[in-house]
Amino acid sequence: AYFNANIPSEEVFITPRAGDAEGIVYATRPFAYRGQLIENFWLRFENGRAVDCGAEKNEDALRSLIAMDEGSCMLGECALVPYDSPIRNSGIMFYNTLFDENAACHLALGMGFADTIKNFENYTLDECRAKGINDSMVHEDFMIGSADLSIDAHTRDGRTVPIFRDGNWAF
């Protein structure tokens, strides 16, 4: 089995299929983007694209991000990180996504990861894109995890399996 740990949280992540996101997501932590803090923001997705957004602070920066290129308004990552993570517990905001993303579950706008496709090494990048890996010049993570986050998986055989309860792994 292949495992590539992201230190210090060992997040579990996947690239969602480009064009499949629906609904509204609310950020739970500030997002440092190009020297600005975007705070208390939300994004509304339709047909996989962020079609609207709002923020209490630096909304123009958020709107600029989702308009950057064809893929910047779509998701490139969905990551599970326990709320009880070393980064969140430190109480420090690093203003660096590679650290800050480890504070909570997060999503990323922009480029997806081709290596999340089974046997990706046997495909060209164009074939990975055709399988749903989003293309963009950006990949920007923002946190959505909270102390009361619950996540359930719905299995192919119809079962519902708890994944997160109260912001942390349920198993």
Q: What would the two tokens of residue 128 be?
A: 């990975």
What is the reported pTM? 0.92
Task: Examine the pLDDT at 3 and tell me if it is beyond 70.
Answer: no
Helix ranges (H only) for the chain are 59-66, 86-90, 97-100, 125-130
Whether the CB-CB separation of 73 and 117 falls below 8 Å is answered with no
| Per-residue pLDDT reduced to its tens digit, 33-85 | 999 999 999 999 999 999 999 999 999 999 999 999 999 999 999 999 999 99
Q: What would the two tokens of residue 102 be?
A: 């480890």
| Per-residue pLDDT reduced to its tens digit, 5-36 | 666 667 899 999 999 999 999 999 999 999 99
